[in-house]
Amino acid sequence: MSGYETTLAEHEDLLRRYDRLYVLASAERGVVPEPRLRQLLERELEGFQRFLLAHMRAEEEGGYFPEVAQRRPTLTPKLSTLKEDHGRIRRELELLLSQARETPPLADLTRSIKKVLHHVRAHEHAETALLQRVFTNDLGAGD
């Protein structure tokens, strides 16, 4: 599997984790007792954070960032923006986990989770668009 294919597979895994966390954050109240829901949210959030941090570190250090910079130096500013976004997402997740452990009102917690997930989803979309731009070429061969 190429680096591009590996990155896309990781993005798919990340989206599955995203979906699990989003479904829990969107669960109708009373379906799962609140203490259990809080426990599930915190556990999923911790797992999501671990996976996402490792994923972002891999992208920056040995993943597609260096390859994009080499293939398309004009996209270096876009890579810098994405890397800065990684830092923002890291901070948001740390704050969110800290908040989750302080047991805020459940509605506040789920709203915060959805906000961070929305940011992550937009970031992943931007990365996927960049990857497709760099690694898929339409040569116009008429096939």
Question: 59 near 79, Cβ under 8 Å?
Answer: no
- Tell me: the pLDDT tens digits for 36-78? 999 999 999 999 999 999 988 888 887 778 888 888 889 889 9
The mean pLDDT value for 16-29 works out to 93
The mean pLDDT value for 78-96 works out to 94
Mean pLDDT for the chain overall: 87
**Dist. CA 107–CA 123, nearest whole Å:** 24
The CATH fold assigned to 3-134 is Four Helix Bundle (Hemerythrin (Met), subunit A) (1.20.120)
Q: Which helix (DSSP H) or strand (DSSP E) does residue 138 occupy?
A: none
Residues 6+ apart with CB under 8 A from 135: 4
Residue percentage of the chain with pLDDT more than 70? 92
Global pTM value: 0.85
pLDDT at residue 8 is higher than 90: no
Give me the helices (H) in the chain, please.
3-25, 34-61, 64-71, 76-101, 106-135
Domain ranges of the chain: 3-134
Band of pLDDT at residue 1, cut at 50, 70 and 90: low
Show the tokens assigned to 5. Answer: 């294919």
